[in-house]
């Protein structure tokens, strides 16, 4: 007769050796003073064998019957259930050694040569703060898309939209490393496309919060790439011109003594000459790079040949190398960063900002300003902007954007 839950719960042992109560198909419950044990008798290779299937009530009647059916399937396939159980146990032990945190730290160590020290520290902090507390102890082979999404949702919940996509990419790199090492089958983050809220910053992805801007500036000043790339990367946030205008900058356009960069109309989107007042910090960068490229045409020449300007992908490539994904911040994003913070934090006049962005700005009579309009005020604004970025970079006081949530 098959066992019932009521019988199993109430049955008591009658002897010290205990009693066996059959459920059929070789499955029985061994009742002893020390507990109630599930066992399965079966024959394999002409020999009688017994398989331990757990202890009641941790293993319920329904669960143990499922285990019995699994053992029957293994026998039908020519496998010994006892050996298969040992294999499963060995796999679980190995999996417990390959938790997400263990694999991630191994990946961090083996790939650190590909990152700057500042980026390595940032990636490590993200993992330790946002990922390990949620999935760090789980075997990486058992982690699914929803497990990773749950960790990333916590980041969304506190408003870290500018970082969540980058952390997802980092998790993807860990999974791909695990696949290569044989401890995972696939990169489960690929199933999360479209599942996360994207950081919105206008037409071009941009960091516009002062705190994150400070982190970005620290990353830039810690970047150790080619001299021309480093100089261009440091200068672009200060002048916030379009990336194409920066990479094609010519020494003939720059007056270091006057502290001005005059970009001809042919290079401008609006086909109007543009004047960029250069802060003391911008001049320092240009004077430092002048001995290297001052003998040629371009301020930032191509690394392959000085006869052409820097590649259009160079600055974005450097940002990617620092850990800033394409959907988080781009070379063009420095314009949105300046536009937002100059207005909302530094309270600069919007018409001055727009003019410096080389947007069409008209006076009260509807007449477009010329390139020298309000030059003294714009010069002060550009210096104030460079000074503010320096304060953010060294950890000075950060003023929160209007309407932002603490």
Interacting residues of 153 by C-beta distance below 8 A, sequence separation 6+: none
User: One of 122, 166, 274, 335 is an active-site residue; which one?
Assistant: 335
Residue 171, token pair as written in the block: 């998790």
Residue 57 CB neighbour total at 10 angstroms: 12
DSSP string computed for 324-347 = --TTT--TTHHHHHHHHHHHHTS-
Residues 221, 234: Cα–Cα separation, whole Å: 7
How many residues in total does the chain contain?
406
Task: Say if CB 179 and CB 185 are below 8 A apart.
Answer: yes
Is there a catalytic annotation at residue 204? no
DSSP lists the bridge partners of residue 35 as: 32
Nearest to 332 by CA among 384, 275, 375, 269: 269
Residue 83 CB neighbour total at 10 angstroms: 11
User: One of 43, 89, 198, 359 is an active-site residue; which one?
Assistant: 359
Nearest to 102 by CA among 141, 140, 146, 145: 140
Strand-strand pairing, 47-56 and 254-255: unpaired
Task: Say if CB 207 and CB 216 are below 8 A apart.
Answer: yes
Is there a catalytic annotation at residue 339? no
Is there a catalytic annotation at residue 324? no
User: One of 70, 218, 262, 369 is an active-site residue; which one?
Assistant: 369
Residues 61, 66: Cα–Cα separation, whole Å: 9
Task: Say if CB 152 and CB 167 are below 8 A apart.
Answer: yes
Is there a catalytic annotation at residue 335? yes
Is there a catalytic annotation at residue 134? no
DSSP lists the bridge partners of residue 274 as: 263
User: One of 68, 247, 274, 332 is an active-site residue; which one?
Assistant: 332
Residues 134, 218: Cα–Cα separation, whole Å: 28
Is there a catalytic annotation at residue 92? no
Instruction: Give, in degrees to the nearest 5, the angle at Cα 338 between 332 and 340.
Output: 110
User: One of 86, 87, 269, 287 is an active-site residue; which one?
Assistant: 269
Task: Say if CB 82 and CB 49 are below 8 A apart.
Answer: yes
User: One of 242, 274, 329, 339 is an active-site residue; which one?
Assistant: 242
395: left (phi over 0), alpha (psi -120 to 50) or beta: left
Kindly list the catalytic residues. Answer: 242, 269, 332, 335, 359, 369
């Amino acid at each position: 007769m098959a066992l019932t839950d009521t019988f199993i719960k109430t049955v008591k042992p009658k002897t010290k050796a205990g009693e066996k109560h059959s459920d059929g198909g070789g499955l029985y419950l061994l009742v002893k003073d020390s507990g109630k044990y599930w066992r399965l008798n079966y024959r394999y290779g002409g020999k009688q064998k017994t398989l331990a299937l757990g202890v009641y009530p941790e293993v319920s009647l329904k669960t143990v019957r499922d285990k019995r059916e699994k053992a029957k399937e293994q026998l039908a396939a020519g496998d010994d259930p006892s050996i298969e159980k040992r294999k499963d146990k060995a796999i679980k032990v190995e999996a417990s050694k390959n938790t997400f945190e263990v694999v991630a730290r191994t990946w961090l160590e083996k790939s650190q040569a590909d990152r700057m020290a500042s980026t390595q520290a940032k990636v490590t902090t993200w993992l330790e703060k946002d990922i390990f507390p949620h999935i760090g102890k789980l075997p990486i082979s058992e982690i699914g898309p929803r497990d990773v999404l749950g960790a990333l949702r916590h980041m969304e919940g506190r408003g870290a939209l500018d970082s969540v996509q980058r952390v997802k990419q980092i998790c993807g790199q860990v999974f791909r490393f695990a696949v290569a090492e044989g401890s995972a089958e696939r990169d489960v983050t690929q199933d999360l496309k479209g599942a996360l809220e994207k950081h919105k910053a206008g037409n071009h992805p941009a960091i516009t919060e002062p705190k994150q801007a400070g982190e970005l500036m620290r990353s830039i000043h810690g970047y150790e790439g080619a001299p021309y790339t480093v100089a261009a990367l440091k200068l672009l946030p200060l002048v916030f011109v379009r990336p194409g205008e920066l990479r094609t900058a010519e020494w003939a356009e720059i007056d270091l003594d006057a502290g001005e960069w005059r970009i001809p109309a042919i290079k401008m989107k609006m086909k109007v000459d543009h004047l960029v007042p250069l802060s003391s910090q911008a001049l320092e960068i240009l004077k430092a790079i002048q001995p290297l490229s001052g003998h040629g045409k371009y301020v930032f020449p191509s690394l392959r040949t000085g006869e052409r300007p820097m590649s259009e992908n160079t600055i974005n490539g450097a940002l990617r190398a620092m850990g800033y994904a394409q959907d988080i911040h781009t070379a063009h994003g420095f314009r949105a960063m300046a536009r937002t913070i100059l207005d909302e934090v530094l309270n600069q006049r919007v018409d001055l900002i727009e003019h410096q962005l080389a947007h069409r700005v008209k006076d009260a009579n509807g007449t477009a300003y010329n390139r020298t309009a309000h030059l003294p005020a714009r010069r002060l604004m550009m210096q104030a902007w460079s000074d503010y970025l320096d304060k953010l970079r060294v950890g000075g006081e950060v003023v929160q954007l209007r309407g932002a949530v603490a």
